[in-house]
Structure 1
Amino acid sequence: MDLLINCILWLVFTLVWVMALSFVSRGRHKQLPPGPRPYPVIGNLLELGAKPHKSLAKLAKIHGPIMSLRLGQVTTVVVSSPSMAKAILQNNDLSFCDRMVPEAILSLPFPHHEFSLAWLPVSTMWKNLRKISNMHIFTSQKLDANQELRRKKIKDLLAHVEDNFRAGKAIDVGQAAFNTSLNLLSNTIFSIDLVNPNEREFKDTVSGILEEVGKPNLSDHFPLLKKFDLQGIKRRITVYSAKMLEVFDRLVDQRLKHRQEHGCSISTECKDILDTLLNIIQDKSVEIETKHLKHFFADLFIAGNDTTSSTMEWAMAELLHNPEALLKAKLELEQTVGKCKPIEESDITRLPYLQAVVKETLRLHPAVPLLLPRKATKDVAIAGFTVPKGAQVFVNVWAIGRDESTWDNPHTFIPERFLGSNADFKGQNFELIPFGAGRRICPGLPLAIRMLHLMLGSLINSFDWKLDNHNMDMEDKFGLTVQKAEPLHAVPVAI
C-alpha cells in the first residue's frame, strides 16, 4: 500500500512539475512575436520550402511583419516591413549588428569567419577591415581616380558583345556581366585580368560557395549533427573555397616576391590596392596581417561580383520582358548621350529613367533577399514583443520590396514609380534596402551602383536585343543570393 501511495504521489508531483514548466514556457513564448505553430523536434523547417524568401513572405501575411519561427533548435525572427526593418537595422543596430555565422562557414578547415568582413562580429578586426574598405577602396576619390579602368572594362564588354554579334551568337548576360565586374575588381586590386570573356570556372566557384552557404543546412538547426555533414555541404564548400583562396594566396606571394627582388618592403608608388594593403601592413598603420588578405579579397570578390552580375542579368531580363520600358531607356540614352556613344559616369545623374530601371530591378530582385543573418546580442523589445538573446534575425527585403501597403502593383516592373521620388537604396529609405542599412550596410555599394548603370546603359545604347528563344523564364533560384533559374541568353542586334 505504501508503495502504491508513493507511486501516486510521484506521478502527481511529476504532473504538477511538467505543468509548471509548461506554464513558464508559455509565459516566455508569449513575449515572442507571433508565428506558425512549430512541429516537435523539426519546428517550422518544412515551411521554408525551396524558396525561403517567398515562403516567409507568405507566412508574414498571416502572422504579421515581425514573426518568430523555430527552425530545429534555433529561434528565428523574421521582419518583413519597412518599419520593422528600421527597428532592427537602425533603432537597435547595436543589438543586432553581429552575425549568425552558418555552419557552412564555421566548418571550413581554415578560420575564414575570424578574418571575414562579412561574418566577423563588430570588433577591432572588423573595424580595421571596414576602415580599409571605406578609406582605400570605395571612397569617391578612389573611385573617381579609377574611372579610366572602368571605361576600359566596359569597352572590353562591348567588344565581346560585338564578336558575338558578328558570329550570330547569343550572350549569356549574367556571365558577361560577372566577368566584366570580376576583371574590373581584379585590375583594381591586382592589376591583372583574372578571366577571359568566355571563362566560367571562377563564376561557377563563386556560385557554388553562395549556393552552399545559402541552402538550408541541418547542421545549422541541430548542433548535434555538425560532425556528420549529412548533406555534404562542408565537403563541397571546402573544395570551392580552397580553390578561390589558393588564387589569392598565389597573387599575394608573387607580389611579395617581386617587392623583395626589387629591394623594397614598402612601395612608394602604389599601383593597386594590393600594394596599398601591403604598405599598410608594413608600416602598421592599421592592425592587419598578410594572412588576412586572402579572406578580405574573398569577401570582395564574392559579394562584389555575384550581386552585381545577378542584378544586371535581372535588369536586362525585365527590360526584354517589358519592351516599352526598354524603349524609354534607349530613347533617354539617345537624347542625353547619343546613340552608340560611350557613357561616362558623369552622365548617370542626367539619366533619371535609367536610374529608375536600376532601382526597380533592385526592388523586385534584391540580390541577397534575406540579407545576411544577424544575431541578437541581448533581449530586445520591438513592437511589444521580445527578440530573445541569441535569436537568429532575418530581414526579408524581398518581401519588403513587394509589400502591397508600400507599393502600388508591387509585383509589376514599373520604373516610372521612382521618377520624381526621393526613395534611394543607400540605407535611409527602409522600403528599399537591397544593400542593407546601418553599420553593416554593404561597403561596396558605391562601386556596384556605378558599374550597374555603366554596364546596363552601355549594352542597351550600343545594341538592340532579342531573346535567344521567345519564352523567357522569370523564375528565381534561391541561395545566399538569388539567381535567375534559367540564365538569360540574349542576341545582340546592330542598331
Structure 2
Amino acid sequence: MPQTLAFMKQEAHPHHVIWTLFANKYGGIYRLEIPGHRFVVVNDPALLPAIIGRPGLPKWAAYQNVVPLVAKSKVETLFTTPHSSDPMWKTVRKALNPAFSPSAIKSKFGLVVEKCWALCDWLEQMGPGADVEAQDAMARLTLDVVLMAGFGIASNTIGDPAPVPLLTELHYAMDETFSKPVRAVLLKLLPFLPAAKEREVHFARLYGIWDGWVQQMLARGPPPETDDSLWACITRVRNPSTGRPMEGDKLQAEVASLIVGGLDTTAQTCSFTLALLATHPAAQRAVAAELQKAGLLATPAQKIPRQLTYADLSRLPYLDAVVKESMRMFPVSASGLGRYTTEPTILGGYLIPAGTEVQINYYAMQNIEANFPEPHRFLPERWLGHARAAASPDASTDGFVEGDPLARAFLPYSAGPRSCIGQPLAQMEVPTILATVLGRFEVELADQMGGYEGMLARQINAFTLSLKGGCHLKFRARASM
C-alpha cells in the first residue's frame, strides 16, 4: 500500500475526481489517511464480491448522514441499516419485492409514457431556442412517476412554472448535508445564528412534506390485497420482534427513502445522457437512426411518431449502449459505497485490520484505464455485444458477471444483497424517457454550458452526481426540421 496521502489538500476539487486521480496513481487497492480516519480504497472489481457479495461487509457509519433527509429522528432504513442480516432489514426488503416484479413494472409503463409525452408537449411549446434546465425537467418527470406509481399520489409538475416544494427543500437539504458538511456541524452547534434558523426552517418544510404524504395515504385505509404498489407493500411490513406495523418516523423514513431513491438517480442519468448526446452528434445521429428504423422518430413527413411500446425497450441496442456508457462515465452514485471490516480480512493480498473502513468509489472504478480502455471517451460501441447481465444481474450470481471485464467493473446499481432495489423500475424508466424525448427532439447544449469541457467542470457530488447551475439544453422538434 502507498504511504499516507495528503487528501485534505485536494478538497478544492470534486472528491470523485480526486478519487480517480488516486486510482490511476495507486492502483486497485491502497490505504488512505485523513485526520481521524484510516481506510482502504478498492478499485479492482475482482475484489468486490468479498466486500459487497454474500455475506459481504456491513455499511459504515457515514450512511447515517442520509437519515436527516428523510426523518427528523435517528431511524434505520432499508438504505442505512448496517447489516443485511438485520431481521427488520430483511423483512422490509422481502416485502418490497412484489412492487418491482416484472408484472408490476410492466403495469407502470403506460404511466411513464404518459408523463414522457406531457414533457415532450411542454418542450415543443417552449420552442427550439428555449434554454431548458434538463435536471429540473427530468426531476419533475421522475417525481410525478414515483409518486403516482409507488404511492398513488397525483402529481403534475411538468411544465408548471412554479418551483416544486419537495425538489426545493430536498436539494437544499442535500447541498447542506453533503456539499457543506463542516457548515452543517457548525450550524448545529450555533443554533442562534440566522443561517442556522434558516436551515431549520428548510428541514422543517421537508419533514412536513413527507409527513403530509404519509398522512394522506394512511387516510385511505388498508390497500387491497391485489395492490402491489410500494405503499401497499410497506403497509404489510410487520416488525419481526413485535409483530407491529411500521409507524411514525420509521414509516415516514422508509417512504421518503424510496421516493428519494427513485427521483434524482433516474433524473440525473437522463440529464447526463442527453448532455453527452448533445456534445457527441455522431452518437445522437446513431440513436435517431435506430429510432427511425423502429418507427419511433418524428420527421417532417411523420410529425407524430409511433408511440413506444414495452416490447420496444428490448429492441434498441444502441440506445441501451448509450445509457450504459453514460452511467459508466457519470454514475449518479459517484461516491460509491462504504463498508467496514468486523474482523481481520484479506483483500488483494493485504491483511486489513478489523474496524477498517473500506471505500469503493464507482466514479473512479469506472473511469480508469485499468478497467476501461480510453475511459474519458464517450464510446457507446464498447457495450455492443457485451453482457447485458451487467445491468440485469442474475440473482444467482449477486450481479457479479464473470468473464466479461467490462461487466465486472460496471455496477451502476451496485450488486449483492444490498443492490438497488429500484433497479427494475429505473431500467424501464430511463430508456422510455430517452427514446420518447429523442424520438421527437434533437438535443443541443446551451451556449452557457461552455461546451463539453464546461460541462465536465460543472460536476458536483451532493448525494447524487449533478451539474452545478443545472444542465442547460435546447430541444429542436424533429417534425419541424
Q: Same fold (TM over 0.5)?
A: yes
> TM-score, normalization: structure 2?
0.83
Deviation of 1:213 after TM superposition, in Å, equals 3.6
- Higher mean displacement: 199-208 or 124-133: 199-208
Aligned residue in 2 for 1:162: 124
Asked whether the equivalents of residues 67 and 75 of structure 2 are also in contact (C-alpha less than 8 Å), the reply is no
* Partner of residue 42 from structure 2, selected from 67, 70, 79: 79
The 3-state SS of whatever aligns with 1:133 is: helix
Q: Contact 1:102–1:213 (CA<8 Å) still a contact in 2?
A: no
Whether the 8 Å CA contact 1:281–1:287 is kept in 2: the answer is: yes
Residue aligned with 2:473, SS: strand
User: What residue is the counterpart of 2:272 in the other structure?
Assistant: 314
* 1:124 lines up with 2:87 in the alignment: yes
Q: Which residue of the other structure, out of 413, 416, 419, is the alignment partner of 1:438? A: 416
Q: Does 2:296 match 1:330? A: no
Distance of aligned partners of 1:322 and 1:388 in 2 relative to their CA distance in 1, 3 Å threshold: same
Partner Cα separation in structure 2 for residue 403 and residue 286 of structure 1:
48
Q: Where in structure 2 are the equivalents of 1:3-402 lying within 5 Å?
A: 33-37=1-5, 44-90=7-53, 93-102=54-63, 104-105=65-66, 114-122=75-83, 123-135=86-98, 137-165=99-127, 169-194=130-155, 196-197=157-158, 198=160, 199-215=163-179, 217=181, 228=189, 239-259=201-221, 267=224, 270=227, 272-280=229-237, 288-291=245-248, 292-339=250-297, 340-402=305-367
Correspondence for 2:403? none
User: What corresponds to 1:12 in structure 2?
Assistant: none
Quick one: distance in 2 between partners of 1:232 and 1:121?
A: 35
The CA distance in 1 between the partners of 2:352 and 2:445, in whole Å, is 47
Structure 1 residue 236: deviation in Å?
Answer: 7.3
Cα pair distance change 1:107/1:419, threshold 3 Å: closer
- Ranked by relative contact order (alpha carbons within 8 Å, sequence separation 6 or more), the top structure is 2
Secondary structure class of the residue paired with 2:77: coil
**1:178-206 deviation per Cα after TM superposition (whole angstroms, max 9, x unaligned):** 11111111002332334522334322333
Q: CA deviation at 1:283?
A: 13
Q: Judge conservation of contact 1:191–1:271 (CA < 8 Å) in 2.
A: no
The alpha-carbon distance between structure 1 residues 140 and 316, as it changes in their structure 2 partners (threshold 3 A), is: same
Relative distance call for 1:286 and 1:373 in structure 2 (3 A) is farther
SS state of the match for residue 98, structure 1?
A: coil
Instruction: Identify if the C-alpha distance between structure 1 residues 205 and 333 changes in structure 2 by more than 3 Å, giving closer, same or farther.
Output: same
Which residue number corresponds to residue 476 of structure 2?
Answer: 493
Task: Give distance in 2, aligned partners of 1:161 and 1:281.
Answer: 45
Paired position in structure 2 for 1:11: none
| Residue in structure 2 matched with residue 474 of structure 1 by the alignment | 455
Q: CA 1:268/1:107 → structure 2, altered by over 3 Å: closer, same or farther?
A: closer
Q: Retained in 2: the 8 A contact 1:115–1:125?
A: no
Secondary structure of the corresponding residue to residue 474 of structure 2: strand
Q: One-letter code of the match for 1:116?
A: T
Q: Distance in 2 between matches of 1:443 and 1:239?
A: 32
Report deviation, 1:412. 0.5
Q: Quick check: 1:97–1:440 contact (8 Å CA) kept in 2?
A: no
Q: Is the 8 A contact 1:65 1:80 kept in 2?
A: yes
Partner Cα distance (2:286, 2:425) in 1? 25
Supply the distance in 1 between the matched residues of 2:199 and 2:55 (Cα, whole angstroms). 31
Q: What TM-score results when the alignment is normalised by the length of structure 1?
A: 0.81
Give SS of 2:447's match: coil
Note if contact 2:135-2:268 (Cα within 8 Å) is conserved in structure 1: yes
Are 1:409 and 2:374 counterparts?
yes
Aligned-residue CA RMSD in angstroms?
Answer: 3.3
Seen in structure 2, the aligned counterparts of structure 1 residues 373 and 209 have a Cα distance that, compared at 3 Å, is farther
Name the CA shift for 1:80/1:63 in 2 (closer, same or farther; >3 Å).
same
Q: Could you tell me how far apart the structure 2 residues matched to 1:147 and 1:462 are?
A: 19
Matched residue pairs, number?
Answer: 446
| Mean Cα deviation higher: 107-116 or 426-435 | 107-116
Q: Name the CA shift for 1:287/1:60 in 2 (closer, same or farther; >3 Å).
A: farther
Are the counterparts in 1 of residues 91 and 240 from structure 2 also a CA contact under 8 Å? Answer: no
AA in 2 matched with 1:206 = L
Q: Which moved more, 1:447-456 or 1:93-102?
A: 93-102
| Paired residues of 2:116 and 2:436 also in contact (CA < 8 A) | yes
Q: Mean Cα displacement is larger for which, 274-283 or 372-381?
A: 274-283
Question: What CA distance in whole angstroms lies between the structure 1 residues aligned with 2:102 and 2:69?
Answer: 35
Q: Does 1:422 align with 2:387?
A: yes
- For residues 353 and 112 of structure 1, do their structure 2 counterparts lie closer, same or farther at Cα, with a shift above 3 Å needed? farther
Matched, 1:458 2:436: yes
Q: Is the 8 A contact 1:34 1:66 kept in 2?
A: no
Q: How many Å separate the matches in 2 of 1:305 and 1:200?
A: 13
Structure 2 Cα separation of the partners of residues 463 and 162 of structure 1: 9
Instruction: Give the Å deviation of 1:440.
Output: 1.0
| 2:41–2:358 CA contact under 8 A, matched in 1 | yes
Aligned-pair CA distance for 1:74: 1.8
Deviation beyond 6 Å, 4+ runs, structure 1? 106-109, 229-237, 282-286
Secondary structure of the residue aligned to 1:114 is coil
**Structure 2 unaligned spans of 5+:** 298-304, 394-398, 401-406
Return closer, same or farther for 1:266/1:302 CA change in 2, 3 Å cut-off. closer
Structure 1 segments unaligned to the other structure (5+ residues): 1-32, 39-43, 260-264
Q: Against the structure 1 CA distance between its residues 469 and 216, is the aligned structure 2 distance closer, same or farther, given a 3 Å change threshold? A: closer
Task: Map Cα deviations across residues 398-426 of structure 1 (whole Å, 9 max, x no partner).
Answer: 11112212322110101011111115234
The 3-state SS of whatever aligns with 2:372 is coil
- Report the equivalent of 1:448: 426
Structure 1 pair 353–216 and aligned structure 2 pair: CA distance change class (3 A): same
Greater gyration radius: 1
**Partner Cα separation in structure 2 for residue 128 and residue 323 of structure 1:** 47
Q: State the 1:335 CA deviation.
A: 0.2
